[in-house]
Chains A and B, each alone.
Chain A
């Protein structure tokens, strides 16, 4: 079963990744987590996202494309990245979510992937 772990960061979490002072600290906590996931052989896909300020969002209404700066929606914490893992149960997915470095100050959302995957 595929589960997606969605990592929500606050503003400090995002700036910490780019600031040379804190970047090493960030890498020091994420690297062992990535390694653990890879060694467990559960990673399907994933990506870290740049800060919300780099986002655009768009909608098409009556054939017209409207583009706006910034993320969608406007919330205090924003998606900072995600990892799709292949584990047998939700409990196993929650265990991985709890081990994620952002769980201690941000939030991790765990959601099953739809069976009728549009990518297949």
Chain B
């Protein structure tokens, strides 16, 4: 079963990515976490996202394209990245979510993926 771990981070954590001290002291937790997922043989895919101010949103209404700068939801915390993992149960997915380096300062959402056959 595939689960997606969605990583929501507060604005100051996005800003910290540019801080050399953060890069030196905290960033190594991310490749270590990714490596643990790979070594457990459960990582399907994942990506880190640039900060919300780099986002653009698109809607089509009456055939017209409406493009706006900024992320879709004006929330205090924004999606910072995700991992898709293949594990047998939600409990195992939650265990991995709790180990994510952002869990102590952000919010991690865990959601089952749709059966890919349902979308094809």
Residues of A within 8 A of B (CB): 2, 4, 6, 8, 17, 23, 27, 30-31, 34, 44-45, 47-50, 52, 54-61, 65, 67, 71-73, 75, 77, 79, 81-82, 84, 90, 94, 97-98, 103-104, 106-114, 116-119
Contact = CB atoms under 8 A, between A and B. Distances in A.
B47 A103 contact: no
A31 B52 CA distance: 29
Given A47-B2, A108-B59, A113-B50, A71 B109 contact: yes
A77 B72 CA distance: 9
Given A6-B79, A111-B49, 8 more contacts: A27-B120, A47-B84, A50-B111, A81-B114, A104-B59, A113-B50, A116-B48, A119-B83
Nearest to A50: B112
Interface of B: 2, 4, 6, 8, 17, 30-31, 33-34, 43-50, 52, 54-61, 65, 67, 71-73, 75-77, 79, 81-84, 90, 94, 97-98, 103-104, 106-114, 116, 118-120
Best-surrounded residue of A57, A65, A107, A109 (most CB of chain B within 10 A): A109
Contacts of A110: 55-58
A60 B31 contact: no
